[in-house]
Amino acid sequence: MAAKSTSNHYGSVAVTIHWLAALLIIALIGSGFRGSGIEDAAAKAAILRVHVPLGIAILLLTVARIAWWLFADKKPNPIPMPAWQDWSARATHFVFYVIILGMAASGIGMLVLSGAGPAIFGGAAETLPDFMNYKPRIPHGIGARAMLVLFVFHSCAALYHEFIKRDGLLSRMSYGRSS
């Protein structure tokens, strides 16, 4: 499989970024929702020690993906579909990027404003602040819920194309042979 995309199949770089980001987003959403309900500072700090690096990794993967599309690769030709589905797919991907970048900004904002970095990465967990007291917490929570809805919508659409329409859309984002 080539690193770059062909006219009808994504290349290995795009496939790797896509599936790695998907797995990390699942872990990030899970750790975020799990951590939001914890009162014990030590337990919350332990979750944040996973959550924060995952968020940074997703940010870096997203920037890498955007740079890859802008400077190094072209996306495969679209599969024929009704205009509303094509528009919906493009809008979904755009909103994914907006939410990911917004989540990273609000997460970084909470870390900076709260001074929680030392408590998360080696300091006393008891000094962990209450993140509800910081304004970036609101868009971060809204973004997490929007990301979850978008993720489910995106996954269902991919499964629809794979098992109902059988148009090969999902196989284009795999490590299989490009045709």
What does the domain layout of the chain look like in residue ranges?
A: 12-173
Q: What digits encode the pLDDT tens for the residues 112-137? A: 999 999 888 887 877 888 888 999 99
* pLDDT value, residue 66: 95
Specify whether domain 12-173 bears CATH 1.10.10: no
Candidates 152, 49, 72, 140; CA nearest to 101 is: 140
In Å, how far from its chain's centre is CA 72?
Answer: 21
Q: What pLDDT, on the 0 to 100 scale, is given for residue 125?
A: 78
Amino acid 177: pLDDT: 62
> Between 146 and 178, whose confidence is greater?
146
What's the pLDDT at 163? Answer: 95
Residue 39, pLDDT above cutoff 90: no
3-class DSSP state of 166: coil
pTM over 0.85: yes
DSSP 29-74: HHHHHHHHT---HHHHHHHHHHHHHHHHHHHHHHHHHHHIIIII--
Whole-angstrom Cα distance, residue 109 to residue 126? 21
Mean residue pLDDT of the chain comes to: 92
Which residue, chain included where needed, has tokens 């970036």?
A: 136
